[in-house]
Copies of this chain bind each other. A is one copy, B any other.
Amino acid sequence: MQAAVLEKAPPNRPTVVLRSVPRSSPQLSRATLACSNCGMRSQCVPSGMRNEDMSEIDQMVTSRRRIRRGEHVYRAGDPFIGIFAFRTGFFKSYAESEDGRTHVTSFEMAGDISGFDGIEDGHYTQNVIALEDGEACTITFAQVDSVSTRVPGLQHYLFRVMSREIVREQGLMMLLGTMRAEARVAHFILDLARRFAARGYSSTEFNLRMTREEIGSYLGLKLETISRLFSRFQDEGLIEVQGRAIKLVDLPALHELAGEHA
């Protein structure tokens, strides 16, 4: 399944070969679960994490779970059990309001972590659903408690990951609050490119895993606006789009539009 997904998305073939992983066996060995053996480690763990601390982090990951396209990792209102670190696949998080509005708050890929919204009152407030088959490592908070009292480095790790999430959301708030549609879309494309690059995929040619509507929801725009801007960017020679396949052509111009450095 994982391989099939990659085949359907030729431009996203990894340029770095990642360790292949056994499929959802009911009981995985501690070594197999270990973060220190995980190809996605560099994504999960903030830079600067010491190697000595990795074995401590390994102790938290208790299980791995296979999630199919369309299946929820968790839903708003579910009791909080812990956080999820994605190993493969592609996911979206979204919130729903009382009156039925919906808003995509993030797209998760390998190495990203979800679930911090559930800590405060013991229930998740968001929904996370797979856009593509994948696997999630489960880190239950019961584990966190027992391990982290013995291990000071561990809480540091979690503080940093949560801090990163807070900063990420602040960036999105600025995008939603101050940027025009074309800047939002340019920013979105470049952000995806960076994230693919960080995982060893091409940063200039990749496949979108989400619909125009989901992009629009994420960026506070309508799907028609996304479609129109993709077309316009293509006319202007910034990108090439065909369906969900995107190729970045004029990176400086995209950065310019997104309001980044130069």
Contacts and interface: CB of A to CB of B under 8 A. Distances in A.
B261 A167 contact: no
Instruction: Sort A-B residue pairs by CB-CB distance and give the 8 closest, nearest first.
Output: A119-B163, A177-B220, A176-B176, A169-B169, A120-B163, A103-B174, A99-B259, A101-B178
A168 B177 CA distance: 16
Nearest to A150: B149
Interface of A: 46, 95, 97-99, 101-103, 105, 116-120, 125-126, 145, 148-149, 152, 155-156, 158-160, 162-167, 169-174, 176-179, 217-220, 259-261
A118 B149 contact: no
Given A155-B155, A163-B119, A220-B177, A170 B125 contact: yes
B174 A95 contact: yes
Given A162-B162, A172-B173, A167 B125 contact: yes
A231 to B, nearest CB: 23
A152 B178 CA distance: 41
Contacts of A172: 173
Contacts of A155: 148, 155
Contact of A160 (B119, B164, B166, B171): B119
A239 to B, nearest CB: 21
Contact of A260 (B98, B105, B152, B167): B98
Given A116-B163, A177-B218, 13 more contacts: A97-B178, A98-B260, A102-B178, A103-B173, A103-B178, A116-B162, A117-B163, A118-B163, A119-B159, A119-B162, A126-B170, A159-B162, A176-B176
A16 B248 CA distance: 60
A173 B174 contact: no
Contacts of A98: 259-261
